[in-house]
Structure 1
Amino acid sequence: MTGTTRTLAGLSAIALVAACSQDNAPSEKISDVAETVADTVEGSATPTVADGPYAPRNDCREVPGADAFVARFAAAVKARDAQAVAALAAPDVKLDFGGGAGKERLLAMLAAKDAPLWAELDALASLGCGQNEQGGITLPWYAAQAMADVDPGKAMIVTGESVPVRASPSAARAMGTLSWDIVSLKDGLQPGAPFQQIVMSDGKTGFIASDNLRSVLDYRLIASSRDGKWSITSLVKGD
């Protein structure tokens, strides 16, 4: 990978490192681990971020209680502890746009250790934290930011630094690179395809590996403080 790669030292990354030793930790230990991580983060220097306009960062450090909450969430996800994740959710947590809600439904979605939602939560725990207009917090960070003038149904975040853009999927050399930027799918998502054809901000087209693209409408988590207690109020994808 070319260019300068700076370490993302935000809360989510540190929380996940701390949680690595807690793979089999029971729920009662997760809070202690998360509190220790939060204390460490609060005393650390302002983190640097990766290159790119939508690179993960932590804008929630000034929000009372937000750091500790995100640390608890990251630790619970790393431990694959469905009960711990559900304990962080509001009783009426929104889970889709069709009326799905509530802790019991969330627990059902996380019932299996290999349930697809776990991988989605892994991603959320590593993509930074942003303050939202309602006074709460949003994961990933970019979901709380103003987006470029693109169709949300086609907009994708390039997830990585110096990600190759090729003239064709089989091209040996890259025509350029993008770092944590926003692009649009030219002809919609091609499920299962290793590459997607995209349109860049300058109007040029190219191909990027599917593994380096994430829809702006993919899962995002919104949390807010109710009477001093932080809770997940929404965990949805789509629009």
Structure 2
Amino acid sequence: MFRTQKIVGFLLLTLLTFSLDGFAQERYVLPVDKAKNDPSLARFRAKLIEATREKNQNFILSIIDKDIKNSFGGDDGKESFKTIWHIERKDSSFWEEFLSVITNGGAFYKESGNQKTFCAPYSFMVFPEDLDAFEYSIVFGENINLRSQPNLLAPVVAKLSYNVIKADYENSADDGRNENSYVWVKVTTLGGKTGFIVSRYVRSPIGYRACFQKLKGAWKMTAFIAGD
């Protein structure tokens, strides 16, 4: 009898521990925006956002540092930036990507020589160091619908806000309705929730980010880069 009680007690403890571990697994990367701490940067960013929405290539080129870092392959400099992005075209992918980057917070870090650098979006700056940035992504938004299937009519499994997720891009899907169809990404949260969310709400911490430094009294973009 006593042995049976010990076994039952052990099983209950195991189940309770497993359940608590399951809840503890859910993790989040909450938005951070330190630009507001520097009034000159806040003013600069407001102008930059406006220029990006207007697709004002002249303004963008005026704030790019001559040695801007464009990749990890050595294609640096302003001329390489122009060749890569073709921002003279209104349909350049730069505009949508860059707007998403500069409208989603960010934080400062110090380069060698105490040069202060601001990088956006926040997801790059505050992603947990104990997680592999190549393996995990985050939900880039609040109360995002996680659906059972890759379409807007599928049941909502959960609402996600800034969760750390694993994205299964191989099982991405286009709902195929029309030319404005959504691309859906299959994701799993660390707490075990699985389903599909619209791709624009999935952000890799090593996706495109922009970095800015104040050089000779003016803010300049010193990097627009992806990867690690």
Q: Same fold (TM over 0.5)?
A: yes
Task: Give distance in 2, aligned partners of 1:200 and 1:144.
Answer: 21
Structure 1 residues 190 and 89, CA gap change in structure 2 (3 angstroms): farther
SS of 2:43's equivalent in the other structure is helix
C-alpha displacement of 1:53: 4.8
Deviations 1:94-118 (A, max 9, x none): 1111111222222332121111111
Task: Give distance in 2, aligned partners of 1:69 and 1:183.
Answer: 33
Matching residue's letter, 1:107:
K
Larger Rg: 2
Matching residue's letter, 1:88:
I
Q: Which has the higher helix share?
A: 2
Alignment partner, residue 202 of structure 1? 191
Task: Give distance in 2, aligned partners of 1:182 and 1:159.
Answer: 10
Contact persistence 1:159–1:214 (CA under 8 A): yes
Structure 1 residues 190 and 153, CA gap change in structure 2 (3 angstroms): farther
Task: Give distance in 1, aligned partners of 2:92 and 2:211.
Answer: 21
Task: Give distance in 2, aligned partners of 1:230 and 1:63.
Answer: 11
Task: Give distance in 2, aligned partners of 1:182 and 1:148.
Answer: 13
1:176-187 correspondence runs (5 A) = 176-185=158-167, 187=168
The answer as to 2:77 corresponding to 1:102 is yes
| TM-score using structure 1 length | 0.68
RMSD: 2.5
Identity %: 25
Matching residue's letter, 1:131:
F
Q: Which runs of 5+ in 2 are unaligned?
A: 1-26, 175-182
C-alpha displacement of 1:183: 0.8
| TM-score using structure 2 length | 0.71
Matching residue's letter, 2:91:
D
SS of 1:101's equivalent in the other structure is coil
Alignment partner, residue 40 of structure 2? 65
Alignment partner, residue 55 of structure 2? 80
- Equivalent of 1:174 in 156, 159, 177: 156
SS of 2:74's equivalent in the other structure is coil
Alignment partner, residue 5 of structure 1? none
Deviations 1:187-217 (A, max 9, x none): 4454554332222122443332323212222
How many residues are aligned here? 187
Q: Which runs of 5+ in 1 are unaligned?
A: 1-51
